[in-house]
Amino acid sequence: MLKEFREFALRGNVVDLAVAVILGAAFGRIVSSFVNDIVMPPIGLMVGGVDFATLFINLGSQPYATLKDAKAAGAPTINYGLFFQTIVDFLIIAFVIFLAVRQINRLKRPAAVPASPTRECPHCLTAIPLKATRCAHCTSDLAVATR
């Protein structure tokens, strides 16, 4: 069983997947920093100086001035500002992945379609070999196809 696992783990697809997961995690952190530190502050400024990371709904009975205070007290909260930031993160990552996949698909060449080894008889429409001079089905005389 250990030998099978080693063969599975060392296959090219598994190693490629592991590299993709690691790069994806690093890319996610970069995008999160971009959203939190660069995108959201100007958006918050445009909507009246709001810091989205501090927006929350307190579900507890005691009021709290900030999300940090509520978290420190262990109060239940709905952090809709952080949720909004996560949505922006997702949209940016999804758009970048869309652009990358679009470029990869553009670079791929369509697979060549192999030439058919047969042609149709013009009289009975039966498939016949390219070099045939007579149809095996209707026995019509045929010219040899030139390709």
Beta bridge partners of 119: 128
Count CA atoms within 13 Å of residue 4 on its CB side.
1
pLDDT single digits (tens) 108-124: 777 777 788 888 888 88
How many beta carbons lie within 10 A of that of residue 126, not counting itself?
13
Contact 55, 85 (CB under 8 A): no
φ, ψ of residue 134 in degrees (nearest 5): -145, 140
Bridge pairing between strands 127-129 and 118-120: antiparallel
User: What is the distance between the alpha carbons of residues 127 and 129, in angstroms, rounded to a whole number?
Assistant: 7
How many beta carbons lie within 10 A of that of residue 70, not counting itself?
21
Q: What secondary structure, in 3-state letters, does 17-51 show?
A: HHHHHHHHHHHHHHHHHHHHHHHHHHHHHHCCCCC
Q: What secondary structure, in 3-state letters, does 42-72 show?
A: HHHHHCCCCCHHHCCEECCCCCCCCHHHHHH
pLDDT single digits (tens) 11-28: 767 777 888 889 888 888
Contact 36, 51 (CB under 8 A): no
The answer on pLDDT for 138 being more than 60 is yes
Predicted TM-score (pTM) of the model is 0.57
The pLDDT of residue 106? 84
pLDDT single digits (tens) 47-85: 888 888 889 999 988 999 989 999 999 999 999 999 998
